[in-house]
Homo-oligomer: A and B are copies of this chain.
Amino acid sequence: MPFRRSKGLVKWIFENQHKMQSVRRCSSLARYKEMEDSAASEHDVSGPKTRPEITPEISFKHDDLQVRLAAPYQLQTKPDAVELGFGKYFTDHMLKIHYSKHLGGWQKPEITPFENLSLHPAAKALHYAIQLFEGMKAYRGVDDKIRLFRPELNMERMNLAAQRSGLPMFDGQELIRCITRLIQIDQEWVPHSETSTLYVRPTLIGTEPTFGIMEPESALLFVILSPVSAYYQTRGDGAVSIFADPAVVRAFPGGVGNRKVGSNYGPTIEATARAAKLGHQQVLWLFGPDRELTEVGAMNIFMVYINDQGERQLSTPPLNGLILPGVTRRSILELASQWEDLVVKEEVITMDRLEDLNDRGRLLELFGAGTAVVVTPIANVGYLHRNIRVPTTSQPRPVYRRLRDTLLAIQYGHVDHPYAKVIA
């Protein structure tokens, strides 16, 4: 490989990752929100150049919501908590909002009994993956009230994904109001338990039934609800094992790795199945020659270690266009940055660095975070025919557990916090 080519390679990655660099330079957590804002706007190579501008006039409106309740014979028996699993049962109602350019845009939102969708077999969502989704949870609090956790962040991310996918945008506050009404109607489905919740899945799909590979002129936004318990089936301590395979790549500069679109998931099934056969729960997606950790598909990744100054440090890879900007990720960074006894940083983490820290006994914890998984400790990383055992669950007062307890305390109303929004 000639020298010219290697120089070109470096230049190319430089160009494609200039934002990765600029995000790295912002190490002060006080600037975290600003960073995420900027990562989502002008710096983001793979995203839109500006925040999506929502014109409220053209969004659907909660005030137009029409409700058709299920008949008594349509109501389903609620499963036992032990049977829940993740996303196997659904509630009695759903929300649907049609979009039709032909009919002037967004139509009136409607809540109907839960039912199958009737889709034209040429719908673009089924051929060209013109589809995106979100994941939120409704929590039954200690006070019996139901709360959502920072739903406005999900709405913002959903609109960014819509813009990236040629799907119509909308006013996030209006969708939150519609979802609130849906949850109120199905509120008996919100588990009376702190080990299970009601998972909320907003989905937006292109329904135009033509074969052109272009923006669809019709779409359907629908929201379904599923009572869920733990995402992973694991050993007693809840710790998972992940598999880091340098040969598989989840996302690429110029792609959609930072948007919650279906296309990020289908191509991962095969690699995940291979990892499962080796006994791991998930794939740890690496990127680049230095094998930088990016994310785990169903969760963002965090590391706790003793840094070169001898301090305890919490780190996660910076948002660089390849990583989903998780709501739990962001909340963890914001919460932990207020703790006196922990340094908190977004920084590049390579597999070499991870192994080196582990070999020196300075790697304390590795864990994942996301709406579905909450905070999940990682005890093992399969990598290049060996296993890197991480002492996450043998720490005396682990950071991951403190974070999980803090998040759950907010979500289940043990403490009052602006992140939690009471909806019923």
Residues of A at the B interface (CB closer than 8 Å) are 1, 5-14, 16, 45, 85-88, 90, 94, 114, 116-122, 125-131, 133, 163-166, 199, 201, 203, 205, 209-215, 222, 224, 226, 228, 247-249, 252-256, 261-270, 272-273, 276, 288-290, 297-298, 372
Contacts and interface: CB of A to CB of B under 8 A. Distances in A.
Given A249-B254, A252-B255, A263-B266, A117 B121 contact: yes
Nearest to A268: B213
The 7 closest A-B pairs by CB, nearest first: A87-B211, A12-B289, A129-B262, A249-B254, A8-B289, A128-B265, A129-B266
Contacts of A116: 118-121
B127 A129 contact: no
B262 A262 contact: yes
A267 B256 contact: yes
Given A90-B209, A127-B201, A165-B266, 7 more contacts: A6-B6, A87-B212, A90-B122, A117-B119, A128-B266, A129-B261, A213-B297
**Residue among A253, A261, A263 with most chain B CB within 10 A:** A263
A165 to B, nearest CB: 6
A9 B288 contact: yes
Contacts of A255: 249, 252, 267
Nearest to A47: B270
A288 to B, nearest CB: 6
Given A165-B269, A262-B262, A8 B290 contact: yes
Contacts of A13: 9, 289
Contacts of A247: 16, 45, 254
B9 A121 contact: no
Contacts of A289: 5, 8-13
B211 A272 contact: no
A278 to B, nearest CB: 15
A298 B214 CA distance: 11
Given A94-B121, A120-B116, A222-B121, A262 B127 contact: yes
A262 B263 contact: yes
A151 to B, nearest CB: 18
A84 B197 CA distance: 50
Contacts of A14: 1
B263 A254 contact: no
A229 to B, nearest CB: 12
B118 A118 contact: yes
Contacts of A126: 117, 125-126, 131, 203, 205, 262
Nearest to A260: B127
A196 to B, nearest CB: 14
Contacts of A253: 249
Nearest to A11: B289
A7 B8 CA distance: 12
A122 B201 contact: yes
Contacts of A215: 269, 273
A228 B213 CA distance: 15
